[in-house]
Amino acid sequence: MGPGPRTVELFYDVLSPYSWLAFEVLCRYKNIWNVSLQLQPSLVGGIIRDSGNQPPALVPRKAMYVRSDTRLMSQHLQVPLHFPKDYFSVILKKGSLTAMRFLTAVKMEHPEMLEKVSRELWMRVWSRDEDITEPLSILAAAEKAGMSMGQAQELLERVSTPQVKNKLKETTDTACKYGAFGLPITVTHLDDETHMLFGSDRMELLAYLLGEKWMGPVPPAVNARL
Residues with catalytic roles = 16
Element (H, E) at 72: helix 60-77
CA 125/CA 130 separation, integer angstroms: 5
80 C-beta neighbours (distance < 10 Å), count: 13
* Residue 100 identity: M
Compute the Cα dihedral for 83, 88, 92, 97 and give only its sign.
negative
CA 224/CA 37 separation, integer angstroms: 22
Compute the Cα dihedral for 74, 40, 225, 121 and give only its sign.
negative
76 C-beta neighbours (distance < 10 Å), count: 13
CA 79/CA 127 separation, integer angstroms: 9
Instruction: With H, G, I as helix, E, B as strand and everything else as coil, classify residue 197.
Output: strand
Burial class (CB in 10 A: 0-12, 13-18, 19+), 220: exposed
